[in-house]
């Protein structure tokens, strides 16, 4: 099968521009793109069917076409904040193939007539900052960045920008706040970044993986990309398979690959001879599913139909030794920790849920608390300032729906012990 993102990813020295050029037709897409009008590149990306890989799955070409007309300067902000629990695909790209991202950023910038791009990397990625910095230097040296790139008249500057530890900065508007030097709190939408983004100017925010697909599309044409995957979910997807599997790892698969194949064929199956119990298909923000849904094809539509989402492409696998409640407690604690605190339902709700789940986990909970949890979720869902609140709700509601017995097991037993009120 065709590898687009991970083709020769483990080639030694791939982070250097020479190896990249030799091994992967590196920067060849630029010539092709510069021969086209920017709008033609946008049309091409639209035709490819590429959808954003950061989590929302929004059609990339369409997003680009929303840029406020004739307003300049425009900015590109590459979302390399990768912080969604279970997700580690962007890190692998950044670490092993920085030039692929740079090439993708150049293509996006050319199509969108952007002259300045920032690569917002999560603060913990300091090790890879130097990799990126070196790659950028090389690209400037070779004339792929800077003024009048390859004689096209197109100028582009790309800078790295490091975050400093905040999951919410992966949310695009919070990322822009952070990039502007503010607290990483999300902003009101509308206006959307494409209209008023960084520094109040039209801005494209795309995920690392999304941008890394662009060189392939430009080189091989929209059709070549659209030929892969399903009718509505085109192309390949990097899936981070983690948890109770024998060979956890990032795997590039055509969209539509059955989940069971990801677990069995790619990740080597459930380890220690145990059985599959549950999986979260798209990172901690999406509903958890039971083993019975393992034959669902891994694509946007099928997962939605199954009651979950593809999200950031992180498949977290749990075997039958797991009590789901303790994992949901972990995730809830994460959201409590990462809630920016700006809006009331998210700030208060995540903590309240954490308190209740802790009691249940510690076997001092009460059966009524399940209904209470569901009602708290109902009061939060779609009512918070940004989608983080909804993300916090999804695992709780879905786990009660699919794994009520795990809760009941904890609720039905012991009734003694200390209540855990505060953290």
Ligand X SMILES: Cc1cc2nc3c(=O)[nH]c(=O)nc-3n(C[C@H](O)[C@H](O)[C@H](O)COP(=O)(O)O)c2cc1C
For binding to ligand X (CB under 6 A), which residues are involved?
A: 52-56, 58, 60, 79, 81-84, 168, 170-172, 205-207, 210, 386-388, 391
Give the count of beta carbons closer than 10 Å to the beta carbon of residue 375: 10
Close Cβ partners of 209 (under 8 Å, ≥ 6 residues apart): 5, 53, 54, 89, 90, 93, 238, 313
207 binds, among ligand X, another protein, none (CB under 5 to 8 A by kind): ligand X
Tell me the backbone φ, ψ of residue 300, rounded to 5 degrees: -55, -50
295 binds, among ligand X, another protein, none (CB under 5 to 8 A by kind): none
Among 90, 171, 209, 299, binds another protein (CB under 8 A): 90
Task: Name the residue nearer to another protein (CB basis): 5 or 331.
Answer: 331
Burial string for 389-404 (b: 16+ CB within 10 Å, else e) reads: bbbbbbbbbbbbebbe
- Per CB under 8 A, contacts with another protein among 12-41 are none
197 binds, among another protein, ligand X, none (CB under 5 to 8 A by kind): none
Task: Name the residue nearer to ligand X (CB basis): 168 or 179.
Answer: 168
Angle (CA) 332-58-381 rounded to 5° is: 35
Among 23, 28, 322, 362, binds another protein (CB under 8 A): 322
- Per-residue string for binding with another protein, 184-213, x by CB under 8 A? xx--x----------x--------------
316 binds, among another protein, ligand X, none (CB under 5 to 8 A by kind): another protein
Close Cβ partners of 368 (under 8 Å, ≥ 6 residues apart): none
415 binds another protein, rule: CB under 8 A: no
Contact (CB, 8 A) for 29 and 23? no
Least distance in Å: CB of 23 to another protein?
23
106 binds another protein, rule: CB under 8 A: no
Least distance in Å: CB of 25 to ligand X?
23
Q: How many residues does the chain have?
A: 423
Distance separating alpha carbons of residues 368 and 54, to the nearest angstrom: 37
152 binds another protein, rule: CB under 8 A: no
Distance separating alpha carbons of residues 177 and 200, to the nearest angstrom: 11
């Amino acid at each position: 099968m065709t590898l687009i993102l991970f083709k020769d990813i483990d080639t030694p020295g791939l982070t250097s521009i020479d190896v990249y050029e030799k091994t992967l037709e590196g920067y060849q897409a630029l010539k092709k793109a510069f021969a086209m009008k920017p709008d033609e590149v946008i049309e091409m990306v639209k035709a490819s069917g590429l959808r954003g890989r950061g989590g929302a799955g929004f059609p990339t070409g369409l997003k680009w076409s929303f840029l406020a007309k004739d307003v300049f300067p425009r900015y590109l902000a590459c979302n390399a904040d990768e912080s969604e629990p279970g997700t580690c695909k962007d890190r692998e790209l950044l670490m092993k193939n920085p030039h692929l991202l740079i090439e993708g950023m150049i293509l996006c910038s050319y199509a969108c007539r952007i002259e300045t791009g920032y690569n917002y990397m999560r603060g913990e990625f300091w090790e890879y900052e130097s990799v990126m910095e070196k790659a950028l230097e090389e690209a400037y040296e070779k004339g792929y960045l800077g003024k009048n790139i390859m004689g096209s008249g197109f100028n582009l500057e790309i800078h790295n920008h490091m975050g400093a530890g905040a999951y919410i900065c992966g949310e695009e508007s919070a990322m822009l706040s952070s990039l502007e030097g503010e607290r990483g709190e999300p902003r009101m939408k509308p206006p959307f970044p494409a209209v008023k983004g960084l520094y109040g100017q039209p801005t494209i925010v795309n995920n690392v993986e999304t941008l890394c697909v662009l060189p392939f599309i430009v080189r091989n044409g929209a059709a070549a990309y659209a030929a892969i995957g399903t009718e509505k979910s085109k192309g390949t997807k990097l899936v981070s398979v983690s948890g109770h599997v024998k060979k956890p790892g990032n795997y590039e698969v055509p969209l539509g690959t059955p989940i069971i194949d990801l677990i069995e064929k790619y990740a080597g199956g459930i380890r220690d001879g145990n059985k599959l119990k549950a999986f979260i298909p798209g990172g901690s923000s999406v509903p958890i599913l039971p083993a019975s849904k393992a034959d669902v094809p891994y694509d946007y539509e099928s997962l939605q139909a199954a009651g979950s989402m593809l999200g950031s492409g992180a498949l977290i696998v749990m075997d039958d030794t797991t009590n789901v409640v303790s994992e949901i407690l972990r995730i809830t604690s994460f959201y409590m920790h990462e809630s920016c605190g700006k809006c009331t339902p998210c700030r208060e709700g995540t903590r309240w849920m954490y308190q209740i789940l802790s009691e249940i986990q510690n076997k001092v909970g009460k059966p009524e608390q399940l209904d209470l949890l569901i009602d708290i979720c109902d009061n939060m869902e779609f009512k918070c300032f940004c989608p983080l609140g909804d993300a916090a709700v999804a695992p709780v509601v879905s786990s009660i729906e699919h794994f009520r017995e795990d809760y009941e097991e904890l609720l039905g037993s012991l009734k003694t012990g200390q209540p855990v009120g505060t953290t």
